[in-house]
Chains A and B, each alone.
Chain A
Amino acid sequence: MSYVPSHVNPSLLAQPEALTVIEHTTGTSQTITVGNRVQLGTVHNWYGSFSPTLSTNQITLPSGYYYYIESTIQAYQVASFNLNAYISYQHYDETNTANIGVTATTWQAGSGPDYHTFARDSVARALIDCTTSGIDISLKISASLNCDRINYNADQYIYAGLGRTVIWQLNN
């Protein structure tokens, strides 16, 4: 991805190498534990030819590229809902054991007058330089309150999208 500065001819822009979306595993038993990896499911290669290897919910990013990654999840409370519930998550560099990128917090508020405040995305983002060496990454839960399942597909899920990880593979 890139952008168009007003003073630059857009012909300087380039295509991304590939665009791939990983559909997260859905079900009724994926509980929320801080530090756990979000379970990953089907790989959808939308553009180019990049189908990353998945192993124990880790994504292998080959060397030779930059990667821009966005992930989001769905959360749910089984027993009864509580107003003021949230879950935070962030990408994790498994190779170098470090959190990477921006933390996302997906939440539902209690009664409030300003719904515009909440009508924006909450997405964990990371820009990763793999131009010299590849790494393995994952998506991990970093905090939660008043919700106990993620990517829960037995009830209410029709009102919410389910989890995904979007990967842009960019030329070096």
Chain B
Amino acid sequence: MSYNQRTTTTVTPFAQVTNSSNWGIGNTFQPDTVSETWLTSVTGGYEFIGKGYMFGFLIPTAVAISAVGVGDDTTPDRYTCGYYFYPGNAGRAFSDDEFVNYGTTVRHRKVDPYYWPQASNQSRINVMRIEG
């Protein structure tokens, strides 16, 4: 495959949000590192004006069974959620641990935690701009 871009841009459409230390999971926690300047800081995350696809995962640092979604909604749709867990406590339903979403922000939210874990600094949220 090869592509010719329809709309010229001078920046990469791919960005990644990380944190230099463990993530504190909550609605107002903001990771401290973002790879592209077109993602601007807002409470609880980063955003840009335009359409974007988000995907990512969180890695627990302790006993953890939790679903994670991204977006502005208090309870992200279940089919977009990811799920992460500590396997010693994995007597639960299980599924993919990558969350996906589409919208204009990369705010993350943890939903329905079984325990209250932190996520390690290996956790990632990736954003792809698909404006146009």
Contacts and interface: CB of A to CB of B under 8 A. Distances in A.
Interface of A: 1-4, 10-16, 19, 21, 23-24, 26, 46-47, 66, 72-76, 81, 83, 85, 104, 106-112, 115-116, 118-123, 147, 152-153, 155-164, 166, 170-171
Given A81-B92, A119-B122, 15 more contacts: A2-B1, A11-B5, A11-B10, A13-B5, A21-B79, A106-B95, A108-B90, A112-B87, A115-B64, A120-B97, A121-B96, A157-B78, A158-B67, A159-B66, A161-B69
B60 A115 contact: yes
Contact of A21 (B5, B95, B100): B100
Nearest to A80: B91
B95 A74 contact: yes
Contact of B84 (A10, A119, A158): A119
Given A12-B4, A47-B51, A85 B97 contact: no
A7 to B, nearest CB: 13
Contacts of B81: 160-162
The CB with the most chain B CB atoms within 10 A, among A83, A121, A155, A160, is that of: A160
Interface in B50-100: 51, 53, 57-60, 64-67, 69, 77-88, 90-100
Interface residues of B, number: 57
Interface of B: 1, 3-14, 51, 53, 57-60, 64-67, 69, 77-88, 90-100, 102, 111-112, 114, 120, 122, 128, 130-132
Contact of B95 (A3, A75, A120): A75
Contacts of A120: 57, 97-98
